[in-house]
Chains A and B, each alone.
Chain A
Amino acid sequence: MLLMMGRVYDGRWEAQLRKGCLDLAILAALWDKRLYGLEILKYLQEKAGLEIVEGTLYPILMRLKQEALLESTWVSEAAHPRKYYWLTKAGRQRTLEMTETWEEFGQGISRLLASVKEKHR
């Protein structure tokens, strides 16, 4: 039972952790380029090994746009229209803030993990 509970808990933790970084990952993908949805997915997969259910990307893009972190436009140069996204000024600022927070958090957790690893050697 405990093992079962542990498995359930671990799964949730991993899912929450992954979900928590999606916003930053998407903003980072758009840091210096304009991309449409499929390009963002490809970029996340290639750069970070981050595979998400593809449809999940679009509600997040919609929310980030509503928060004025992204801007978008339809481009009809290809065989069919594609919606391109890019960072707004507020989006760039937010990306920097999130990156700083991520790094500080990561460093703190790394120190904790180092202690755990040391005790198990």
Chain B
Amino acid sequence: MITAREDFGDLISNYLARVKAGLKGIDDGQQQEILAEIRSHLTDRIEQLKQQGSGSPTEDALTAMGDPEELSLQFISAAVVRAARSNFPWVLLRAASRLVFTGLRGTLVFLAGLFGYLTAIAFVGVAVAKLIVPARVGFWVGPHTLVWGYPAHTPGIHEVAGHSFAYISIILAFLFASGTTLLLKQLLRSPRAGKKALPRGSGLSLIGVGLG
């Protein structure tokens, strides 16, 4: 409940600070633009509500604006959606890194991407290593041992892939890279935010609009 004594400017500042806190991962210039636009909207909205006779225009304007944390998530989602169209791993991974600040799901998305691409790089690495030191690199199998690459000790284990090792490694690298790319594109495209896009029971009759 807000009393007349409370500073409405502080309410707006507090709201903007909460939005800003959720915008980590978005560059500073874009953050400032987002906050400036929200401030501009609130200024207009408060004036409008005053004219409509609202007893608590600032509070009403902030309520209409929506939860600041949810709003931040929607901006983050909007910021990464363009990247989701890219097929370049570094673009996707950079976009995913923005999600780290949004919570556990975002962190897991980024870590999944990082793991996938690093694994692909590792497969390429061992394929190249196979060409350089063919006798030491391969698919080594032994009692309680299974090594894809360069084993620390070779006694008691033997290599089973032979010359196919490099080819298989390259294929696995491709599968990991493309699989990770598809996964990231899908995860970045699926909106994390936006659950509160429309108030329940709003006046829109979509069937009427679309089919009427």
Contact = CB atoms under 8 A, between A and B. Distances in A.
B94 to A, nearest CB: 15
B78 A51 contact: no
B202 A50 contact: yes
A83 B199 CA distance: 25
Interface residues of A, number: 41
Among A17, A45, A55: residue with most chain B CB under 10 A: A55
Contacts of A37: 37, 40-41
Contact of B41 (A14, A17, A58): A58
Nearest to B208: A49
B198 A53 contact: yes
Nearest to A25: B209
Among A11, A36, A49, A54: residue with most chain B CB under 10 A: A54
Contacts of B64: 53-54
Contacts, number: 121
Interface residues of B, number: 41
Nearest to A19: B197
B206 A58 contact: no
A62 B44 contact: no
A5 B12 CA distance: 39
Contacts of B199: 51-53
Interface of A: 11, 14-15, 17-19, 21-22, 36-38, 45, 48-56, 58-60, 62-63, 66-67, 74, 79-83, 102, 105-107, 109-110, 113
